[in-house]
Amino acid sequence: MKVELDIEDRQAIALAVMEMLKPLIAGNGKQSSSDELLDVQGACSYLKVSKQWIYERTHLNEIPFYKMEGHLRFKKSELDKWLQRYHTPAALR
């Protein structure tokens, strides 16, 4: 099946691909900030949620976390993977 795309669609796809590649290009082979370890406050800031939300989700084992001697920690890359489960792609025209 062959699909014809008009110029606006092709440009939108190209821009979307460029946006996805920016973090990879900007890293220049350096360790990714996605390996960053976050505390509860950092996870709250990153996910834009309250501390209560974080504690509820960890209690229910709904988000990936580490518990080190009573301290909760979150790997940014694992939160990113978890977030992808909730991604809803845009509808194409």
Q: Which residue has the higher pLDDT, 27 or 73?
A: 73
Q: Which domain CATH number covers 73?
A: 1.10.1660
Confirm whether 37 is domain-assigned: yes
pLDDT for residue 34: 60
The average confidence (pLDDT) of the chain is 86
Confirm whether 93 is domain-assigned: no
> Which segments of 28-91 does DSSP mark as H helices, in order?
40-47, 51-59, 76-84
Domain boundaries, position 33:
7-84
Where does residue 34 fall: left (phi above 0), alpha (psi -120 to 50 degrees), or beta otherwise?
Answer: alpha
Q: Which residue has the higher pLDDT, 75 or 22?
A: 75
pLDDT for residue 27: 61
| Residue 25 in this model has a pLDDT that exceeds 60 | yes
- Tell me how far apart the alpha carbons of residues 18 and 55 are, in angstroms, rounded to a whole number: 36
Confirm whether 92 is domain-assigned: no
Identify whether the C-beta of residue 42 lies closer than 8 Å to the C-beta of residue 74.
yes
Identify whether the C-beta of residue 91 lies closer than 8 Å to the C-beta of residue 61.
no
The residue-averaged pLDDT of 78-85 equals: 94
